[in-house]
Chain A
Amino acid sequence: MSEQAVVSLRNVTKSFGAGGVTALQSIDLDVRPGEFVSLIGPSGCGKSTLLRVVGDLVEPSSGEVIVNGKSARQARRDRDYGIVFQDAVLYDWRTVEKNIALPLELLGWDKGRQTERVRELLELVELQGFGSHRPWQLSGGMQQRVSIARALSFAPALLLMDEPFGALDEMTRERLNSELLRIWQASGSTVIFVTHSISEAVFLSTRTVVMSRRPGRIAAIVDVDLAQPRNADTREEPRFFELVTEVRDRLREGGLDEESTAPGEGELVVSEETP
């Protein structure tokens, strides 16, 4: 199975500093092509670190990280993935178009092809007519759509997303969730998605990886067998609520696992809403 896996993690551990905090401990995970995998867990459980390990932005202390059949470092050098952060990370000195085209410039695409691709992407994220705007002229939700368009611009097989909708209000978040699913299905890419919203994880993913409190470990993996394509009605299905409950239970078990935690604290750490 690891032959065809897009991302394959073997016994990955990450500690910060000499004898310092262990952020990740013995992580084993395979992500198959076309999957949408969510990483969920309490704050400080290392889910963002895990995402950065996959992207070779953080080096693991030990263990093996294989992306697209090669080392994470080589995958990054080959620009095998696109990344979206919690804040949109748009450069104010570039227009929306130029922000989307940034990776294409670095890849040396010619101008005509860039313009054509940017036009497609603006359409995909429904921002036609905003190409020549400056990032700070857009709302938070629109900025995040630009950031997603930029990550998709060079059609990477893998998309890494670090709480991309964490700073947005609930209504914008739900709308962008639906948009993201549409984009994911259209592009056929593999997504690893970090979140601390249980309902978001269940709504979006094909599998939800539940992580325990520090040191970050995989507490459980919940298969999300909701039918595709998903839409607003999906959130009303009994199966949706069953899965939300299951993920919440797994999170509680993971939280109480922590030896240094006072009893019950784990239950308070994660709520369904944005903190």
Chain B
Amino acid sequence: MRSRLRRAAREWLPAALVFVAGIAIWEGAVRGFGIENFLLPAPWDIIGTLVDDWGELSSAAFFTFREALAGFVIGCSAGFLVAAAIARFRLLRTAIMPYAIAAGAIPIIAFAPITNNWFGVTGMSSKIAIAAILCFFPMLVNTMKGLTSVPASSIELMRSYAASELTIFRRVRVPTSLPYVFAGLKVGTVLAMIGAIVGDYFGGSPGALGVEIRRWVGIFAFDQAWAGIVLASALGIVFYGSVAVAERLAMGWHPSVRGARPE
């Protein structure tokens, strides 16, 4: 137990020290050089605002997080399903894959004003759409790579047992592709948050985080704006972390998760 604590400390302590030092330098620099509040507020002021305006801030952040989460679920599911279909049918693959890869290079965020026209400015759906489209392509490409990177002998083994395509998909292709699928999901968490907040910037319902950050900047409430950014980052980290934890749970068998051989 004690050695586990010590190991955990050794693993986390350096990062924690850097964090504390970084905050201290930030605080010191702002106070020491008299940096203007609109350029960079001191961490302590941001923390104070977080505490004072917690109700308003958290409800805004949670609103935008719901947009991101909905977009994430829709975009990743669609990406997975399309990848599964493409992996199964070679014709679809040759027909669609070049465009899927090319589409990954399109700056989707530039479409945010357009999706507002399509799905309504004030509703959640236009932001959900942006987040979903952002998640879709990395999920598609990653899942596709995972599903088709199965060694030929793994498939031959299943065929020697007269296993159906569906059985091979469930029992071999999906487990083999899990590391790729989770890579796609983790990228998706970050993109979904970016998509939702940027979607808010182009207009959205009052009370959404992106809308509020713009409004606060407009009325020179930089402490609030910074507190909103900090909260959005924290949510993004929690979001990413939850997928990372799910990955560990789903792939406890994987050598990369379990570490080296025990012997």
Contacts and interface: CB of A to CB of B under 8 A. Distances in A.
A89 B162 contact: no
Nearest to A147: B157
Interface string B155-177: 01101111100010001100100
A10 B107 CA distance: 61
Interface in B211-241: none
Contact of B255 (A81, A92, A103): A92
Contact of B253 (A87, A89, A134): A134
Prevailing SS type, chain A contact patch:
loop
Interface string B64-82: 0000000000000000000
B255 A83 contact: no
B161 A92 contact: no
B253 A85 contact: no
A81 B160 contact: yes
A89 B172 contact: no
Contacts of A77: 162
A52 B155 CA distance: 13
A79 B258 contact: no
Interface string A59-85: 000000000000000001111011101
Contact of B154 (A78, A79, A91, A137): A91
A109 interface: no
Nearest to B255: A136
A91 B160 contact: no
A103 B254 CA distance: 22
Given A76-B160, A137-B261, A87 B153 contact: yes
A46 interface: no
A106 interface: yes
B11 interface: no
Contact of B172 (A82, A91, A136): A91
Most buried by A among B154, B160, B175, B178: B160
Closest 9 CB pairs of A and B: A93-B253, A93-B175, A83-B160, A77-B162, A89-B153, A85-B153, A136-B255, A106-B161, A89-B157
Interface of A: 52, 55, 57, 76-79, 81-83, 85, 87, 89, 91-94, 102-103, 106-107, 134, 136-137
